[in-house]
Chains A and B, each alone.
Chain A
């Protein structure tokens, strides 16, 4: 059993948890993910590793409450245990040798962009972080990003915090002001990654994206997480989750991600009602 050592709400819909998982913490690298199940009959959900502490033996996950499983996960308390926690899965991000990188994070994707920025900073790279949120209430990890970034741009869709606009606006400005990046790393909603890639392609800057498709086993057995990358079928769980963003078929990935939307919405509502009953 995998105990929750720390639980911290980062905003109304995003929660951080530190999980006791010493074997996984020993091996985890930025870019990799875990799969968890909340209870015995639970769904397997993949979450990218947000941080790890090899000495304490912990893995940090940050999740947004979007469906039944994340709702149930969010109802667990410090000291409770997760039924299953497996990892580290996927290939680590290739960060060695990069000298100057723009790290672009959108929404809860910032939870995954942060360990990448941190690792790059530790490796001595110049890090420009561009993080975007819908509004001020949803901002997460601001001070953490600041601590590892040489330059930081905070964006919000409605202008309630930082600068008004999209992450692509800020990235465009930086590129046009003459900043030269070895690589752009973009992690966030598919639509954001798609537009970051469209921009960087114009400027011919290599761009890596982290894909988070629907998955079951996470070890290359089911093929549910397949994507088209450079015209070829790839499995995000074993070939990724990082891919060359200029080769990813984002439109297809967006369609595939919507496969179970109606089911998830219904289950989420059922779960909300269930918990509402229990809370009373």
Chain B
């Protein structure tokens, strides 16, 4: 008998006043009872509208049915047929705009908490699984993956399961890409990322860190070296700035730099050798998930006041609703319809303030959102000592510059067909390098699509 409650089981979370002083995970995960109760809300619809909205097409009603039977390993097996990174997706996917947006239960009431159930299953497996993953039978073909972020890991996971000899080349000293340098510990614990990578390694994936492809080896050298196909999942790239006066003052960070110092380099731990500014009042410019992450990190580092400055209104904010709510609960202030015009410095060139203007919404622009327009005479100045620019990235030109015939569009993003094939034979690409900054799950979907195409290509050739 289905559970007809209109509400999802609430996710247990750390108290906001406690968690905004620590880096431990905010959402604590369902207990078994909560998972069973939530799983009972699924109607197991025949036409499965949720599956169609999942970028990697997980058979959602089937895994939820396994939860109802208390066969959690069975549920895990169904999820991992499609996803190599369930513990990660269960935490960072924007389910509200994907699977859960089409859930029949959402028509009257709240949809089934699919993301939370996925997380429960993955965490259960990681806590209980004993036998290491079985290595697939090798098929004798070698493939290379550039970048170990969500798209590269997914592509690697799918190909290794098909028997390929997979090597991932990562530029940084640690695998995981944005999952380790960008998304903070309190939203995605790094032990979970490591566990998913270890699972891939147990399946036979090789990970070579400290390898900047395009510098130490070119894509053509990889192909000449016996890799039959190459997947480029090199990520988003160079941080954007607004070209404001004062943007190079001390105390102005790109979100990438700030988050890398905090997450990858562990600057929040006392024993870290990487310095970070412990500011009193921080402004984060931007309204995406990255802006929320940066603001919440700044708060946890001890800032008395953290303000989000965003030029449109709350409704247009691209960040997930849950992230915005969490940030608000933690005491982050939101200054919407506000845009900075200048960052002010003291005599030692440290940030001392920011000048902003108020905005109002005008006619819709090409994105369909109403264009923010400056309100004349609305200029005001606020005292603060740190500004974090979280306004997006533009693609890194490294692979394009060093790979002859690799086509990019006017924004510098790698051009691919719907299967991820680039303008070069045997070279595939996906994730932020192709789409510009997007989500973990879209990058995973692209990695999955490309893995399929790479397998077909190699099989057709041999």
Contact = CB atoms under 8 A, between A and B. Distances in A.
Chain A partners chain B: yes
Contact of A23 (B172, B217, B241, B271): B217
A256 B273 contact: no
Contacts of B275: 260, 263-264, 267
Contacts of A263: 275
A221 B256 contact: yes
Nearest to B259: A222
Contacts of A89: 212, 215
Given A87-B212, A216-B261, A260-B275, A221 B396 contact: yes
A9 B215 CA distance: 30
A187 to B, nearest CB: 21
A39 B197 CA distance: 21
Contacts of A23: 216-217
A18 to B, nearest CB: 18
B396 A238 contact: yes
A255 B345 CA distance: 11
Interface stretch (A41-49, A130-138, A148-156, A175-183): A41-49
Contacts of A94: none
B395 to A, nearest CB: 10
Contacts of B251: 259
Report the interface size class on chain B: 35 or more
Given A37-B173, A223-B239, A259 B273 contact: no
A69 B274 CA distance: 10
A43 B273 contact: yes
Contacts of B369: none
Interface string A14-40: 000000000110010000000001000
Interface stretch (A78-86, A139-147, A190-198): A78-86
Contact of A224 (B172, B254, B349): B254
Given A41-B273, A233-B247, A222 B257 contact: yes
B260 A221 contact: yes
Contacts of B11: none
Interface residues of A, number: 40
A219 B171 contact: yes
A61 interface: no
A88 interface: yes
A226 B171 contact: no
Interface string B250-274: 1101101100110001100001111
A224 B389 CA distance: 12
B210 A85 contact: yes
B188 to A, nearest CB: 18
Contacts of B243: 233
A139 B212 CA distance: 35
B215 A41 contact: no
Contacts of B82: none
A86 B273 contact: no
A228 interface: yes
B345 to A, nearest CB: 9
Contacts of A228: 248
Contacts of A63: none
A219 B236 CA distance: 12
A217 B212 CA distance: 11
Contacts of A238: 238, 396-398
A116 to B, nearest CB: 19
A258 B250 contact: yes
Contacts of B211: 86
A27 B215 contact: yes
Contact of A223 (B212, B256, B266, B349): B256
A68 interface: yes
Contact of B216 (A87, A235, A259): A87
Interface in A69-108: 69, 83-89
B237 interface: yes
Interface string A226-263: 11100001010010000000000000100110111001
Contacts of B212: 86-87, 89, 219
A162 interface: no
Choose among B209, B250, B251 the residue with the greatest number of A CB atoms under 10 Å from its CB.
Answer: B250
A220 interface: yes
Given A255-B349, A260-B275, A219 B173 contact: no
Contacts of A85: 210
Contacts of B253: 224
Nearest to B177: A221
A219 B396 contact: yes
B271 A41 contact: yes
B254 A216 contact: no
Nearest to A72: B273
A235 B254 CA distance: 12
B175 to A, nearest CB: 13
A220 B237 contact: yes
Nearest to B235: A221
A187 B238 CA distance: 26
A45 B44 CA distance: 54
Contacts of A226: 241, 248
B171 A86 contact: yes
Contacts of A68: 273
B208 to A, nearest CB: 10
> Which interface residue of B181, B248, B249 has the most chain A CB atoms within 10 A?
B248
Given A86-B211, A222-B254, A41 B272 contact: yes
A3 B217 CA distance: 21
A89 B213 CA distance: 11
B209 A233 contact: no
A43 B256 CA distance: 17
Given A23-B216, A42-B273, A86-B212, A216 B171 contact: no
A274 B54 CA distance: 53
A86 B210 contact: yes
A84 B237 contact: no
Contacts of A227: 248
Given A43-B273, A238-B238, A84 B173 contact: yes
B384 to A, nearest CB: 17
A43 B397 CA distance: 26
Nearest to B397: A238
Given A43-B265, A86-B210, A219-B171, A255 B215 contact: no
Contacts of B273: 41-43, 68-69, 267
A245 B249 CA distance: 21
A24 to B, nearest CB: 6
- Which 9 residue pairs across A and B have the least CB separation, nearest first? A223-B254, A222-B257, A263-B275, A255-B349, A86-B210, A223-B239, A43-B273, A260-B275, A84-B173
Interface of B: 171-173, 181, 209-212, 215-217, 235, 237-239, 241, 243, 247-251, 253-254, 256-257, 260-261, 265-266, 271-275, 277, 348-349, 396-398
